[in-house]
Homo-oligomer: A and B are copies of this chain.
Amino acid sequence: MQKDIDSKLNAKNIKPTAMRQLVLQVLTKQSTAISLPELENKFEKADKATLYRTLKTFEKNKLIHSIDDGTGSIKYALCKDSCECHPDDLHVHFLCTHCNQTYCLNDISVPNINLPSSFSLESVNMVVKGICSVCSK
């Protein structure tokens, strides 16, 4: 729904340009995280830099979050409505070594870690690798 798209953009204070609407549409359809190169391929003809800056804008305004799954390209996924990208919102990600898809395990929050003394914690990146439910059939 175009309405939903625009209101989501508005809710995060992002001006709803044509490009941004299209990108958000792709992200919404997506059930797994997507990288910039993958996003490029979803369009017949689109400029990498524009898509790049669109993703950066989305990320800055907390519409999406980025995931470094170690594959060499950063992936992006929609934040939950409730998400503020605070430490509390951190969840585990899963990379399937078979299909290369990256899943947000939104229900699995990153476990607490007791750091050595005088180490302070800012954020945690936790990526589990294995075989996803689709590929394990």
B119 and A94 within 8 A (CB): yes
Contact with B along A121-137 (1 / 0, CB 8 A): 11111111111110011
Q: Please indicate the chain B residues that have their CB under 8 angstroms from the CB of A137 in the complex.
A: 118
A17 interface contact, C-beta 8 A: no
- Interface size range on A against B: 20 to 34
A119 and B132 within 8 A (CB): yes
Q: Which residues of A contact B (CB under 8 A)?
A: 68, 70, 92, 94, 97, 105, 107-108, 111, 113-133, 136-137
Given A70-B125, A108-B113, A119-B130, 5 other A-B contacts at CB below 8 A?
Answer: A97-B122, A113-B128, A120-B131, A123-B130, A126-B127
